[in-house]
Amino acid sequence: MNTLLPPLRSWSENPTNRCSCEEVPVYWEAYDVITFLADLGMYRPSLYDLLDSSEKDREQKFKTEYFKKRFTLSRSLMKHILQPVLGAGKPSDILLGKEKKGRVTLQSRPDIFISLSYSGPCIAISLGKQKIGCDIEIVRPVKANKIASCRLFSDSLHADDREYLRKVIHVWTLVESCAKLYDENPYLLLNSCSLSGDANFVSYCINNHLILSLASERLFTDALVWLDMNGHGEASRLTGSH
């Protein structure tokens, strides 16, 4: 018997779901999990100065400018997001770590959890009061054999190829978010008898071409926002709870 997928919540960027860094504490107080969306168009060379020495060493190991920029942008944005939550003097004061499984950690604050995901130019940074798994994917043609054999996938009729691809990507984001939550190999989870265990899932369809899924062991309230580095967010209009 196939497991029912969580519904895809429709989300499009607008003034009510933009969040400036100064407004992050308002969201942090109201929700268990906040996911911040960004893209590589936000990269600026000056962001490199926010990296610590170990992060600069890691940045140099990437072979292409795309991966260098993606790494620099994601780490610097995390620090901008965390600065008002932690009350840090400046973003560069925040020290991020990395576990063997690849999860980004916050030194000295084990009660704050981070999950990071990329797809093309898109970046999703989830900040939680509990351990969270996050995955974002562009809806695009992929090799679907393994995904379609997953117990989450229903071989029902689809209106068109686009709907089929959306379903495939949706399932994959659930698998990936669950794998990140439990620090597992996603390909092993595809073949498992029970994907979710005790996990709780939330999924979004973003601008009709991206799928984002979140997984956590406990029920959670969440907000999905566009990170506005120009300071024009509207935290007074909190959206996205469930």
Per-residue pLDDT of the chain (242 residues; tens, 9 = 90+): 345 678 999 999 999 999 999 999 999 999 999 999 999 999 999 999 999 999 999 999 999 999 999 999 999 999 999 999 999 889 999 999 987 678 899 988 999 999 999 999 999 999 999 999 999 999 988 776 667 666 665 555 565 677 888 888 998 999 999 999 999 888 777 776 455 567 899 999 999 999 999 999 999 999 999 999 986 544 433 334 33
Q: What is the structure's pLDDT at 185? A: 85
Pairing of the two strands 33-39 and 222-228: parallel
pLDDT of residue 163: 83
Phi/psi region, residue 103 (left: phi>0; alpha: psi -120 to 50; beta: rest), is beta
62 neighbors 91 (Cβ within 8 angstroms):
no
User: For position 4, what pLDDT does the model report?
Assistant: 67
Residue 242: its pLDDT value, please? 35
Residue 99: what pLDDT? Answer: 74
The confidence score (pLDDT) of residue 188 equals 78
Spell out the domains of the chain, with CATH numbers in brackets.
Answer: 8-228 (3.90.470.20)
So what's the pLDDT on residue 240? 40
Instruction: Evaluate if pTM is beyond 0.85.
Output: yes
